[in-house]
Amino acid sequence: MRPVALRNSELLLFLWFNRNLRMPDEAKSLRRTLRRRWRAAHLRARELRMISKGLVSTDHPILAHIIPMRRCNLACTYCNEYDDRSKPVPLEAVCQRLELLAALGTTIITISGGEPLLHPGLDQIVAHIRRQRMIAGMITNGYLLTAERIQRLNRAGLDHLQISIDNVTPDDVSKKSLKVLDKKLQLLAEHADFHVNINSVVGGGIRNPQDALVVGKRAVELGFTSTVGIIHDGTGQLQPLSPAEREVYGAMRGMAKSSYAQINYFQDNIAHGRENRWRCRAGARYLYICEEGLVHYCSQQRGYPAKPLAEYSVADIRREFLTEKSCAPRCTVACVHQVSYIDFWRAPQTIDSASMPQTGDRLVQIR
């Protein structure tokens, strides 16, 4: 009798229904590989729907950053987005904000901080994002990751995770070093079913620019995608790179061509101290929701427009979509640039942000 050849989909189902059976390491590895490929394909399909939806209509946010925990377990000297005392936002309040964002048509939620892994209800937050049919991402320093914690994030349905590693060995600027975090990266490589991106940085007082290359190569070696970011100054604005930093940035960009696809062309100008001419869609396509539940342009412009999310409407989205931001030419906030690219070809901005009624200070400092 001839053996029956199983298709990949049939094999995946077989492995799923028999997931609790003891099996050799080769079979476990195969099951993990198939599971990851299945999730990656499903995520890609959802991302394509996101792009299609964004092209059809401009009346909804594409990406929202939400802050459930402002406190952080580290104190990087260049960061103005944390404190050392805040309590976690109550889970019920976070879930209500997620539902409001879903009602606005938001496609992607990125959980940030502070350090989101400090929030006791993080798994429920991720699961609630997925229940609202949104893509769930998270930015973390990675210090609190364990194998069990990663598996819980798998079960909750996390889609993306990013860790920014600033140097090879810790110093007084940043403790987010490869030496400290490499074991965490190995745990992610072994256990994570979600996409992992490692972001290395140049600028901002990082002492050895060459560290970014070491971090990027290690990320690719472990099977992750790797990006490079340029650290902004204290107000999120352009800080030109030194010649040595520009050389490393160029090398990282060259490596990126074979390791990831990333929309970050704007950084080429930043690296050379040049302003960018672009249409910032913050307040419309991108929303930053602080721990108080207020909508801001971004992490570096806290205080604009500072309106409660519960009161934010399509009218606000339409207004901000057409509002020119005075801080845009020298902005280094990558996620806002990337989200805004989808609309670069349409809707010139005709409202001057200087003429808009403002609430709060130019930048609400946390510390």
Report how many domains make up the chain.
Answer: 2
Do both 168 and 270 map to the same domain? yes
Same domain, yes or no: 86 and 129: yes
Name the average pLDDT for the chain.
86
pLDDT band for position 18 (50/70/90)? low
Domain end, chosen from 220, 248, 274, is at 274
Residue 267 and residue 120 share a domain = no
Give the pLDDT band of residue 248 (cuts 50, 70, 90): confident
CB 317 within 8 A of CB 61: yes
Residue 4 has pLDDT above 60, yes or no: no
Q: How far is CA 116 from the centre of its chain?
A: 12
Average pLDDT for 148-154: 98
Tokens read off for 165: 């590693």
User: How many whole angstroms separate alpha carbon 105 and alpha carbon 99?
Assistant: 10
Choice among 89-93, 193-197, 327-331 with the minimum mean pLDDT: 327-331
pLDDT value of position 258: 44
Which is more confidently placed, 144 or 267? 144
In a domain, 74, yes or no: yes
- Segment 72-101 shows an average pLDDT of 94
What are the structure tokens assigned to 128, written together?
């609630």
Nearest one of 213, 234, 219, 259 to 332, comparing CA atoms: 234
* 295 band by pLDDT with thresholds 50, 70 and 90: very high
12 vs 30: CA distance, rounded Å: 9
Residue 261 · residue 338 · CB < 8 Å: no
Are 125 and 164 in contact by the 8 Å Cβ rule? The answer is no
Question: For residues 328 and 360, is the Cβ–Cβ distance under 8 A?
Answer: no
Q: State whether 186 and 246 are in the same domain.
A: yes
Give domain status of residue 174, yes or no: yes
Q: What was the pLDDT predicted at 187?
A: 98
Same domain, 168 and 257: yes
- pLDDT class for 365, splitting at 50, 70, 90? very low
Cβ atoms 256, 227 nearer than 8 A: yes
pLDDT value of position 24:
65
Q: Which of 25-39, 227-241, 260-274 has the lowest mean pLDDT?
A: 227-241
pLDDT of amino acid 108: 97
Q: Assess whether 134 and 186 both reside in one domain.
A: no
Same domain, 177 and 266: yes
According to the model, what pLDDT value does residue 257 have? 46
Based on the fold, state whether residues 207 and 309 are members of the same structural domain.
no
Please report whether residue 32 resides in a domain: no
Domain assignment present for 50: no
Question: Residue 324 falls within a domain, yes or no?
Answer: yes
Mean pLDDT of 119-126: 98
Lowest mean per-residue pLDDT among 77-86, 104-113, 263-272, 297-306: 263-272
In a domain? residue 17? no
Residue type, 356: M
> Do residues 267 and 280 share a domain?
no
pLDDT higher for 285 or 271? 285
pLDDT at position 76, please?
A: 87
Average pLDDT over residues 214-234: 84
Q: Looking at per-residue confidence, does 4 or 283 come out higher?
A: 283
Residue 240, φ and ψ in degrees, nearest 5: -55, 150
Q: Do 216 and 307 reside in the same domain of the chain? A: no
Based on the fold, state whether residues 124 and 170 are members of the same structural domain: no
Is 97 among the domain residues? yes
Burial 107-124 (b: 16+ CB within 10 A, else e): bbbbbbbbbbbbbebbbe
Taking 70 as the threshold, does the pLDDT of residue 239 lie above it?
Answer: no
Task: Give this prediction's pTM.
Answer: 0.86
Highest mean pLDDT (candidates 161-175, 185-199, 204-218): 185-199
Whether 212 is covered by a domain: the verdict is yes
The pLDDT of residue 262 is 55
Average pLDDT of the residues in 129-143: 97
Tell me which residue of 206, 260, 196 sits closest to 232, measured CA to CA.
206
The pLDDT assigned to 332 comes to 84
User: In this predicted structure, which of 89-98, 251-260, 274-283, 342-351 has the lowest mean pLDDT?
Assistant: 251-260
Contacts of 229 by beta carbon, 8 Å cutoff, 6+ apart: 164, 199, 200, 201, 202, 267, 334
Domain residues for the domain of 258 are 162-231+239-274
Q: Are residues 293 and 255 in the same domain?
A: no
pLDDT at 128 over 60: yes
355 has a pLDDT exceeding 60? no
